[in-house]
Protein backbone atom coordinates (compact mmCIF):
# COMPACT_ATOMS: atom_id res chain seq x y z
CA UNK A 1 0.00 0.00 0.00
CA UNK A 2 1.53 3.28 -1.15
CA UNK A 3 0.87 6.03 1.41
CA UNK A 4 3.56 8.41 0.14
CA UNK A 5 3.34 9.38 -3.50
CA UNK A 6 6.91 9.52 -4.82
CA UNK A 7 6.39 11.86 -7.78
CA UNK A 8 5.69 15.58 -7.68
CA UNK A 9 2.44 16.64 -9.26
CA UNK A 10 3.13 18.52 -12.48
CA UNK A 11 1.20 19.14 -15.66
CA UNK A 12 3.38 16.52 -17.36
CA UNK A 13 2.64 13.81 -14.80
CA UNK A 14 -1.03 14.40 -13.92
CA UNK A 15 -4.47 13.80 -15.45
CA UNK A 16 -7.99 14.58 -14.22
CA UNK A 17 -10.82 12.02 -14.21
CA UNK A 18 -14.36 13.33 -13.68
CA UNK A 19 -16.89 10.59 -12.97
CA UNK A 20 -20.68 10.90 -13.18
CA UNK A 21 -21.36 14.55 -12.45
CA UNK A 22 -24.83 13.96 -13.89
CA UNK A 23 -28.03 15.92 -13.52
CA UNK A 24 -29.95 13.11 -11.79
CA UNK A 25 -27.18 12.27 -9.36
CA UNK A 26 -26.45 15.89 -8.51
CA UNK A 27 -30.06 16.40 -7.41
CA UNK A 28 -29.56 13.73 -4.74
CA UNK A 29 -26.44 15.24 -3.17
CA UNK A 30 -27.01 16.02 0.51
CA UNK A 31 -23.53 16.26 2.05
CA UNK A 32 -22.50 19.38 0.17
CA UNK A 33 -24.42 22.40 -1.15
CA UNK A 34 -25.21 21.53 -4.77
CA UNK A 35 -24.51 25.04 -6.08
CA UNK A 36 -21.11 25.04 -4.38
CA UNK A 37 -20.36 21.55 -5.66
CA UNK A 38 -21.13 22.63 -9.24
CA UNK A 39 -18.95 25.70 -8.77
CA UNK A 40 -16.05 23.54 -7.57
CA UNK A 41 -16.37 20.94 -10.33
CA UNK A 42 -16.46 23.56 -13.07
CA UNK A 43 -13.54 25.43 -11.51
CA UNK A 44 -11.51 22.23 -11.29
CA UNK A 45 -12.21 21.41 -14.94
CA UNK A 46 -11.33 24.91 -16.14
CA UNK A 47 -8.13 25.03 -14.08
CA UNK A 48 -7.08 21.62 -15.40
CA UNK A 49 -7.68 22.86 -18.95
CA UNK A 50 -5.62 25.98 -18.29
CA UNK A 51 -2.76 23.83 -17.01
CA UNK A 52 -2.95 21.52 -20.02
CA UNK A 53 -3.95 18.41 -18.10
CA UNK A 54 -5.64 15.57 -19.99
CA UNK A 55 -9.25 15.24 -18.81
CA UNK A 56 -11.24 12.00 -18.92
CA UNK A 57 -14.98 12.28 -18.27
CA UNK A 58 -17.62 9.61 -17.91
CA UNK A 59 -21.32 9.15 -17.19
CA UNK A 60 -23.42 6.14 -16.20
CA UNK A 61 -26.47 5.21 -18.31
CA UNK A 62 -27.10 8.82 -19.24
CA UNK A 63 -30.10 8.02 -21.45
CA UNK A 64 -31.88 5.63 -19.09
CA UNK A 65 -30.94 6.51 -15.51
CA UNK A 66 -29.26 9.74 -14.41
CA UNK A 67 -29.18 11.99 -17.42
CA UNK A 68 -26.27 13.89 -18.96
CA UNK A 69 -23.48 15.76 -17.24
CA UNK A 70 -24.84 18.93 -15.66
CA UNK A 71 -24.95 21.77 -18.21
CA UNK A 72 -22.35 24.02 -16.57
CA UNK A 73 -19.74 21.25 -16.75
CA UNK A 74 -20.59 20.42 -20.35
CA UNK A 75 -20.25 24.13 -21.21
CA UNK A 76 -16.84 24.27 -19.50
CA UNK A 77 -15.64 21.35 -21.67
CA UNK A 78 -17.08 22.13 -25.13
CA UNK A 79 -16.83 19.25 -27.56
CA UNK A 80 -15.56 16.92 -24.84
CA UNK A 81 -16.50 13.24 -25.04
CA UNK A 82 -18.30 11.94 -21.94
CA UNK A 83 -17.87 8.16 -22.06
CA UNK A 84 -21.21 6.62 -21.14
CA UNK A 85 -21.03 3.25 -19.45
CA UNK A 86 -22.98 0.77 -17.31
CA UNK A 87 -20.23 -0.54 -15.00
CA UNK A 88 -20.32 0.57 -11.37
CA UNK A 89 -16.56 1.08 -11.27
CA UNK A 90 -15.64 3.39 -14.13
CA UNK A 91 -12.29 1.65 -14.52
CA UNK A 92 -14.08 -1.62 -15.35
CA UNK A 93 -15.25 -0.13 -18.65
CA UNK A 94 -12.48 -0.87 -21.19
CA UNK A 95 -13.02 2.48 -22.93
CA UNK A 96 -12.57 4.43 -19.71
CA UNK A 97 -9.53 2.38 -18.69
CA UNK A 98 -8.01 2.88 -22.13
CA UNK A 99 -8.66 6.63 -22.04
CA UNK A 100 -6.99 6.95 -18.65
CA UNK A 101 -4.04 4.80 -19.64
CA UNK A 102 -3.67 6.73 -22.91
CA UNK A 103 -2.92 9.91 -20.96
CA UNK A 104 0.39 8.38 -19.98
CA UNK A 105 0.18 10.14 -16.61
CA UNK A 106 1.16 8.53 -13.32
CA UNK A 107 -0.75 10.94 -11.05
CA UNK A 108 -4.53 10.73 -11.38
CA UNK A 109 -6.97 13.14 -9.76
CA UNK A 110 -10.50 11.74 -9.42
CA UNK A 111 -13.75 13.48 -8.57
CA UNK A 112 -17.27 12.14 -8.83
CA UNK A 113 -20.82 11.70 -7.66
CA UNK A 114 -21.10 9.70 -5.59
CA UNK A 115 -17.88 10.13 -3.64
CA UNK A 116 -17.80 6.68 -2.03
CA UNK A 117 -18.51 4.82 -5.29
CA UNK A 118 -18.00 6.84 -8.46
CA UNK A 119 -14.88 8.65 -7.26
CA UNK A 120 -13.58 6.09 -4.78
CA UNK A 121 -13.82 2.86 -6.78
CA UNK A 122 -11.69 3.93 -9.78
CA UNK A 123 -9.31 5.82 -7.48
CA UNK A 124 -8.72 2.69 -5.40
CA UNK A 125 -8.29 0.65 -8.58
CA UNK A 126 -5.71 3.14 -9.83
CA UNK A 127 -3.84 2.91 -6.54
CA UNK A 128 -3.78 -0.88 -6.74
CA UNK A 129 -2.44 -0.67 -10.29
CA UNK A 130 0.51 1.45 -9.21
CA UNK A 131 -0.77 4.90 -10.05
CA UNK A 132 -0.71 7.76 -7.54
CA UNK A 133 -4.40 8.38 -6.92
CA UNK A 134 -5.95 11.54 -5.52
CA UNK A 135 -9.58 12.46 -4.86
CA UNK A 136 -10.74 16.08 -4.98
CA UNK A 137 -13.19 16.03 -2.10
CA UNK A 138 -14.81 19.39 -2.80
CA UNK A 139 -15.62 18.31 -6.36
CA UNK A 140 -17.25 15.09 -5.14
CA UNK A 141 -20.60 14.69 -3.41
CA UNK A 142 -22.82 11.98 -2.03
CA UNK A 143 -26.23 11.33 -0.55
CA UNK A 144 -25.69 11.70 3.20
CA UNK A 145 -22.95 12.50 5.70
CA UNK A 146 -22.41 8.87 6.69
CA UNK A 147 -21.53 8.00 3.10
CA UNK A 148 -19.11 10.90 2.96
CA UNK A 149 -17.43 9.97 6.25
CA UNK A 150 -17.09 6.28 5.46
CA UNK A 151 -15.99 7.03 1.88
CA UNK A 152 -13.25 9.29 3.17
CA UNK A 153 -12.15 6.65 5.66
CA UNK A 154 -12.03 3.92 3.03
CA UNK A 155 -10.02 6.10 0.64
CA UNK A 156 -7.52 6.87 3.37
CA UNK A 157 -7.25 3.19 4.28
CA UNK A 158 -6.55 2.40 0.62
CA UNK A 159 -3.72 4.92 0.43
CA UNK A 160 -5.53 7.37 -1.84
CA UNK A 161 -4.63 11.00 -1.15
CA UNK A 162 -7.63 13.20 -0.38
CA UNK A 163 -7.44 16.95 -0.89
CA UNK A 164 -9.42 19.89 -2.22
CA UNK A 165 -9.28 20.48 -5.94
CA UNK A 166 -7.93 24.01 -5.76
CA UNK A 167 -4.92 22.92 -3.69
CA UNK A 168 -4.10 20.21 -6.22
CA UNK A 169 -4.29 22.67 -9.12
CA UNK A 170 -2.12 25.21 -7.30
CA UNK A 171 0.43 22.49 -6.54
CA UNK A 172 0.61 21.75 -10.26
CA UNK A 173 0.85 25.46 -11.08
CA UNK A 174 3.89 25.61 -8.74
CA UNK A 175 4.94 29.20 -9.58
CA UNK A 176 2.76 32.30 -9.47
CA UNK A 177 5.08 33.92 -12.02
CA UNK A 178 3.89 31.55 -14.73
CA UNK A 179 1.79 33.25 -17.43
CA UNK A 180 -1.02 30.74 -16.84
CA UNK A 181 -1.31 31.61 -13.13
CA UNK A 182 -3.96 34.28 -13.60
CA UNK A 183 -6.11 31.91 -15.68
CA UNK A 184 -5.77 29.11 -13.13
CA UNK A 185 -6.69 31.31 -10.17
CA UNK A 186 -9.51 32.85 -12.17
CA UNK A 187 -10.90 29.42 -13.02
CA UNK A 188 -10.87 28.55 -9.34
CA UNK A 189 -12.60 31.86 -8.50
CA UNK A 190 -10.02 32.65 -5.85
CA UNK A 191 -10.45 36.15 -4.47
CA UNK A 192 -6.78 36.98 -4.87
CA UNK A 193 -6.57 36.03 -8.56
CA UNK A 194 -6.36 39.64 -9.71
CA UNK A 195 -3.75 40.46 -7.07
CA UNK A 196 -1.60 37.50 -8.14
CA UNK A 197 -1.70 38.78 -11.71
CA UNK A 198 -0.69 42.27 -10.63
CA UNK A 199 2.20 40.95 -8.55
CA UNK A 200 3.37 38.72 -11.38
CA UNK A 201 3.25 41.55 -13.90
CA UNK A 202 5.17 43.81 -11.55
CA UNK A 203 8.03 41.42 -10.81
CA UNK A 204 11.15 41.80 -12.91
CA UNK A 205 13.10 38.71 -14.02
CA UNK A 206 16.02 39.69 -11.77
CA UNK A 207 13.66 39.88 -8.81
CA UNK A 208 12.27 36.45 -9.63
CA UNK A 209 15.76 34.98 -9.70
CA UNK A 210 16.46 36.50 -6.31
| Residues labelled catalytic | 118
Cβ pair 44, 64 in contact under 8 A: no
Q: How far apart are CA 15 and CA 123, in angstroms?
A: 12
**Backbone φ and ψ of 35, nearest 5°:** -60, -40
- Residues facing residue 111 across a β-bridge: 18
> Among 110, 116, 129, 124, which Cα is nearest to 58's?
110
* DSSP secondary structure letter of residue 92: G
Q: How far apart are CA 120 and CA 155, in angstroms?
A: 6
Amino acid sequence: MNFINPEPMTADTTALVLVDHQVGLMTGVRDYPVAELKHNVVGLAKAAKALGLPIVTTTTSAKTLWGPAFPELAAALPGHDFIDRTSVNAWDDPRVAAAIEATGRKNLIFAGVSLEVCAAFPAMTAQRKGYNAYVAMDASGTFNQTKRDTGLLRLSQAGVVVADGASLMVEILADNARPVAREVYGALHMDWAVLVGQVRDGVEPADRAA
